[in-house]
Structure 1
Amino acid sequence: MSIRRMIVVVAALAVAGASCSESGSDEGSSPSPSSSASSSPSPSLTPVTPSPSTPAAQPGPVTPSAAEEIVTGLAAPWSIAFVPGSDGQALVTQRDEATIVLVDAAGTVTPVGPVPGVDGSGEGGLLGLAFDPASPTDLYVYATMGSQNVVQRTTYSDGALGELSVVIDGIPAGTRHDGGRLAFGPDGMLYISTGESGDPDDAQDLGSLGGKILRITPGGDVPGDNPFDGSPIWSYGHRNVEGLAFDDDGRLWASEFGDRSADELNLIQAGGNYGWPFVEGIGGAPDYIDPVVEWRPTSEASPSGIAYVRDTIFVAALRGERLWQVPVSGETAGEPAAFVTDDGRLRDAVVAPDGTLWVLTNNTDGRGDARPGDDRILRLTLTP
């Protein structure tokens, strides 16, 4: 049976300071009781004063007002993709088991099947999913296969996957920084986020697909209007991007894990250099593009999946164990506010066909404190 509860805003903010990633991982593990992001914050928590680099506050047009637990018992889930034309059904990847399951709003979980050849450890495994809006049965899957990450295309119909074929490979893989998010743009192209797999130099190397956002056709070709001739690279200088979302005007937003100083929300420009490993967070360096929002320290966020709805970006935070709401207006952003603070690590946020927001917990991935029912999907009601 689902559990419905009210959501209380906790705090606004990016806090000045620095925090080292735990165990060499962006995603870290659940904060210890002595940390600033320890147990679930209470509604009476005093708001944190924004750092000087945080943009001026703006009223957020969309706010979560209630959360309902609709799916339980998932194993290290990573990505949600709604099935086109269905009545709120979605596919979910389970990273470590390399399986895909079908879930519905009633909480039913139905196995779909494994993705063969997945071979990953740490942050690698079966990661992102995306349906092609122009060809609704075509499903794209991002997975670690040994020393590389690969994007494959298959079909999904009548509860089953079809044959898989590679659309792009050669993306560096490792036990951390594997990227993994997929998103189709309004231009019909497939955008792919990658990490530098622990090798910072890859982020600046235009000969490597690591530490980039890639853009390809649905068939895997390089579009003629990409910024680097013959290359799938759309932007570079990224450490580890795990969230992609397009706004109503077709702008691409991306969340990015920082190292020891700041996590980022970036507005992506074709051919743009986002600075890693030379700059982290808002640095003001003329050769690199600064993020629109930063979180300091990194324990406040470790941002993974993001969703855009009505001038608001929602950011699922892992180490931060909260859902950040970021109001946006054009190319500017207001002050982030925190919601969903008592459900542990959050991996993905996706807008459902009915306008609600589905949020995926991630407490069974080896870094969280799993509780009965984990991992879960929460359905959030959004209000103006």
Structure 2
Amino acid sequence: MRVRARAAAMVVAVMMCGGCAFGPAADRAERLGVAEDPTPRAPEPGGEPSPGDEPTEQPPVISEPAPPTGTAEIVGTVTEGLPEVCCAVTLPDGGLLVGEAGSGTIHQVAPDGAITEAGAAPGVSDLVDLALAPSDDVGGYLYISYDSPSGVRVTRLTYDQSAAPGSRLGTSRNVLLEDLPGGGVLAFGPDGMLYVGTADGGQPALGTDPESLGGKILRIEPDGDIPADNPFQGSPVYALGHGEVTGLAWDAAGRLWALDAAGDAGTELNSIAPGGGYEAGGIAPVHAWPAGEAAPRGLAFSAGSLWSPDAERSALWRIPLNGTELTADPVPLLADGELPDPRVVVPAVGGPGLGVLDGAAGTVLRIDIT
């Protein structure tokens, strides 16, 4: 696996809908600071952090626990007629970029719901996820992850919203990460770093191997460099021991949470500590869904809870937080047919709320939550 340095910038995202916007900026508006992380489980010798690189202990941030019960209500449709989607990212002007599943085509949803084709990522036929670098205008960098014959790649390309429809994406790609065994979830953290969730490719030993990028949460600079304060000196590895990371989100206190599709163990929700090991016998999950009973994928934080779409259950999971624990067990909401195929969830800006992309209906829905 190789890491290639390139120039870029960090992400800012906003999506306006009926006076409400959706996107990662909503998470940031709710954050109060950085909380103490749970004690990490260090890997075997050879991957340990240098003593000088140990994170400075921060005072705890107190955040109110979420109520044990809550609600979700669909209150509007932003747009409809989208193809089957795999991923989405919000735009500075209040629009949305949506990745088409099984292709490299990216569609743009305007704030008024109009759909145009932004373009096709060159040489890409199987998109996994999208992330957008910040810009004060309509230009910038778009980060994409996608499957390739040698494994998952993370690249960036230019994006120019002022260009003609169909030609808003650059024609060249800068590779930041490559040869990943699987995964490819992308998210910018409140620290401005790009986080990448990977999979172990069905080989659990890769997840615990500090020399492998499989089964990890990776943390890199927006230009692809390795941050000096990463837990393992000179390595993009931030946390290890995962099966397949399928969702990343930060709560109001700046704590990182991750969903892990752990094979026969089902799906796990983990509170992530820098350098932590989440393999069997490592740091225990905060919650686990048994295999075959649920398959939440994707993660957003709003109104004190984490939220995750589950296409297999046709539901939206509400996961009420209390620090690094839960107030109550997660509950599937809107499970009566209102969400036939929920694929992507983003938080609302300016107050509690969510946007959910439904794959079967090709719609972007606005959802009020408590």
Partner residue in 2 for 1:127: 128
Note the residue ranges of structure 1 that are not aligned, 5 or more in a row: 1-56, 120-124, 280-284, 364-373
Q: Name the CA distance, whole Å, in 2 between partners of 1:162 and 1:240.
A: 30
Aligned residues: 295
Is the 1:60–1:311 Cα contact (8 Å) retained in structure 2? Answer: no
CA contact (8 A) 1:305 1:349 kept: yes
Q: Secondary structure at the match of 2:299?
A: strand
The structure 2 residue matched to 1:358, chosen from 355, 358, 366, is: 355
1:335-374 paired onto structure 2 within 5 Å: 335-341=329-335, 342=337, 343-353=339-349, 355=351, 356-363=353-360, 374=361
Alpha-carbon distance in 2 for matches of 1:337, 1:234: 29
Aligned twin of 1:48: none
**1:251 Cα shift?**
0.9
Provide the TM-score with structure 2 as the length reference.
0.74
Report whether the alignment pairs 1:376 with 2:363.
yes
Aligned partner of 1:309 in structure 2 is 302
Match of 2:32 in 1: none
SS in 2 for 1:107: coil
User: Is 2:124 the counterpart of 1:118?
Assistant: yes
SS at match of 1:260: helix
Corresponding residue to 2:152 among 137, 146, 149: 149
CA gap of 1:250–1:71, structure 2 versus 1, over 3 A, is same
Q: Which moved more, 1:73-82 or 1:130-139?
A: 130-139
Q: Residue type of the partner of 2:363?
A: R
Partners of 2:248 and 2:308 in 1: CA distance: 10
Partner of 2:218, secondary structure, is: strand
Aligned partners of 2:324, 2:238: CA distance in 1, in Å?
Answer: 19
Post-superposition offset of 1:103? 1.1
The question of whether the paired residues in 2 share the 8 Å contact of 1:299 and 1:319 is answered with no
Contact 1:315 1:323 in 2 (8 A): yes
The correspondence for 2:284, drawn from 283, 290, 300, is 290
Query: 2:244 matched to which residue of 1?
Result: 240
1:80 equivalenced with 2:73 (yes/no)? no
Deviations 1:65-85 (A, max 9, x none): 33433333333311121102x
8 Å CA contact retained: 2:297, 2:310: yes
* Whole-Å separation in 1 of the counterparts to 2:129 and 2:88: 8
Cα distance in 2 for partners of 1:60, 1:117 equals 47
Unpaired segments of 5 or more residues in structure 2? 1-64
Percent of pairs with identical residues = 37
User: Which of 170, 173, 176 is the matching residue for 1:165?
Assistant: 173
The one-character-per-residue Cα deviations of 1:37-74 (angstroms, maximum 9, x if unpaired) are xxxxxxxxxxxxxxxxxxxx962586323343333333
Partner of 1:326: 319
Residues 61 and 312 of structure 1 are in contact (CA less than 8 Å); yes or no, is this contact kept in structure 2?
A: no
In 2, distance between residues paired with 1:219 and 1:230?
A: 15
Cα offset, 1:218, TM superposition = 0.5
| Deviations 1:315-365 (CA, angstroms, capped at 9, x unpaired) | 1113222110011122111321111221233221101335431112234xx
Q: Quick one: structure 1 residues 304 and 377, their matched pair in 2 at CA, closer, same or farther if it must change by over 3 Å?
A: same
Instruction: Tell me the secondary structure at the aligned position of residue 340 of structure 2.
Output: coil
Residue identity matched to 1:292: V
Query: What is the alpha-carbon distance in structure 1 between the residues aligned to residue 136 and residue 220 of structure 2?
Result: 16
Please give the alpha-carbon distance, in whole angstroms, between the structure 2 residues aligned to 1:212 and 1:164.
27
Moved more, 142-151 or 216-225: 142-151
Q: 1:192-236 deviations in whole A, cap 9, x for unaligned?
A: 111122333221222221111100000001111111121111111
Conservation of the 8 A alpha-carbon contact between 1:117 and 1:145: no
Q: Which residue of 2 aligns with 1:272?
A: 276
